[in-house]
A = this chain, B = another copy of it.
């Protein structure tokens, strides 16, 4: 039987399309902004000692150990920190928690493409505000009445960072709305807005373990904000799924976050490789936007981006191409190891 008489009761929705996760061997994977370096050796150690017997119990939702480490690192209290199943889940629940008015929320026209998907999912009205010709946010565009503000800083896929003064100004001009700053890429050269959460009760800062901390596989993201907002977020989470983060992920994340030395070493290596890559691309006639992330957004007026994307793919180098207005001349390329980026540059030279 397959009559689909229930068709009118089904949710119709256009989902987010993540970058592909190809299962081919021996590829150079520069398409989803993962870290080319493994997580801290402390994660390996804690895994070896991990007792699987305790997996029979539900995880703690207090996140004692992980919160201890993160709160010390950011100088915040435990009740100012929310931990979730990847920053996508944290952001989704933030949309549900904080964007509940008849006024549209404000977001850039070119930014993380999950923002309008979450808006549709939770029936949140939104307005897209064009970035300027240099792909920068013009802060005064965000001073009008709104139902909330969501900003990726640095922005994706553009890689451009907005200074903390500009962020603070937007937060200050929106005291009747919640301003969410998505800092997935903040550790690659930018300065976090977390220092402002004690000053402004309308600011939510979201970060992730998937990029700078090399743990995309364990799914941990977190939000930092005034206790009143964290309480709302907890209540919303407990209306959706009480236990969102596995025991293992909590353990691995706590060990990882405690290894600040390794964290600093990795992100410095990536920033150095990024600058080298931009320099090499310059020589080949590419224009690369100023990057404060672990990826670059680059174009070459003499090369069709889509064709270069396909050529690189044929050479087993996977980058990301967006077939979208304003950005369809660009490629987004994750910063890999030095060796991977050398191979990328060689392949582009062959193509040119």
Contact = CB atoms under 8 A, between A and B. Distances in A.
Which residue among A8, A199, A246 has the maximum number of chain B CB atoms within 10 Å of its CB? Answer: A246
A294 to B, nearest CB: 12
A339 to B, nearest CB: 16
A161 B90 CA distance: 36
Interface in A27-85: 29, 32, 34-39, 43-44, 47-48, 50, 52-62, 64, 85
A247 B218 contact: yes
A252 interface: yes
Contacts of A252: 52, 55, 248
Contacts of A314: none
A243 B209 CA distance: 13
A292 to B, nearest CB: 21
Interface stretch (A131-139, A181-189, A228-236, A305-313): A228-236
Contacts of A177: 6, 9
Contact of A16 (B1, B58, B238, B244): B238
Nearest to A174: B6
A300 interface: no
A246 B243 contact: no
Given A97-B10, A98-B11, A248-B246, A226 B2 contact: yes
A148 B9 contact: yes
A219 B235 contact: no
Contacts of A141: none
Contacts of A64: 23
Contact of A55 (B39, B199, B234, B238): B39
A286 interface: no
A37 B54 CA distance: 10
Interface residues of A, number: 95
Contacts of A57: 21, 29, 34, 216-217
Which residue among A4, A117, A148, A240 has the maximum number of chain B CB atoms within 10 Å of its CB? Answer: A240
A16 B239 contact: yes
Given A59-B217, A214-B56, A217-B54, A92 B39 contact: no
A262 interface: no
14 contacts: A1-B199, A3-B201, A5-B175, A9-B148, A23-B60, A36-B56, A38-B52, A39-B55, A43-B52, A44-B53, A57-B217, A86-B241, A120-B239, A121-B239
Given A6-B201, A88-B242, A246-B249, 15 more contacts: A6-B176, A9-B101, A10-B232, A11-B96, A11-B97, A13-B235, A14-B239, A23-B64, A34-B58, A48-B48, A55-B252, A56-B215, A57-B216, A89-B241, A218-B247
